Structure 1
């Protein structure tokens, strides 16, 4: 199975989701420390050149691959990837299940501003503290989103490509 977490930039909530999925962050309900957040692989490190690229984060305890992608405002990226996957599955007869999970609903406004200052304007001394504050605010929602994504992946037997919009985490 392949899990792909996606959102606008692909470097904040997606990185946190991948880290939770791979058990690189504490699975408890405690607040993350600033150091834990800033040490997440790819957190606030991707650039505009990375938009649209699938970033591999690792394999989970079940051997499933975990990726992230920043799609910008383009709502057609995931449907396009889904159609390409279905075409390849049909043509080459492979049955690898792929789960696309949108982390955008978990993004608090403070994280959006932090990303704008840090990634957009390159003003890290303003942006990074806002990003850390936002990551602490959305920790529970991101964790629950990941747990739900994994559960859907394990229990959806009829579909080879699953798209989760995750609106319940707003």
Structure 2
């Protein structure tokens, strides 16, 4: 059975969606959710779905103890699902083409440091874009610059608030993120 590790920082709706997808599909299993925020709702979501949670801080991430914990699991794929910190190059080097991220916009637009969640949707709205979407990409040493795996656009001409845009983007994330993860796992068979 293919093993997936998820990294998250916040609410965790994508994490919960991915966990349930793989619990029902039998195509892989979420072995653990690594969380850098002790108050994140994702912790409850993971535990409610019987998935182990690994809580860590910045020092543990950069000095190697998180990598040691990852190595004990030996994942087939590491998925950043709402993880807001720069991912360490040591982990990326040890797991080449096995670390992916989802971004709530059509990269290369609206990417980079500080461009996450509502900040992305506010920028999209302020620039009067007619569409936005999601980008799933490999992670490298720079924010949102890894090779694209998948993009899906949605029309937002009827949206008047960042929250309305977020709702449409979230629907795309929930529909396509687990499927793309599954396709990547199957291609690495």
Same fold (TM over 0.5): no
With structure 2 as the length reference, what TM-score do the two structures score? Answer: 0.36
Structure with greater helix share of residues: 1
With structure 1 as the length reference, what TM-score do the two structures score? Answer: 0.39
Structure showing greater relative contact order (alpha-carbon pairs closer than 8 Å, 6 or more residues apart): 1
Structure with greater strand share of residues: 2
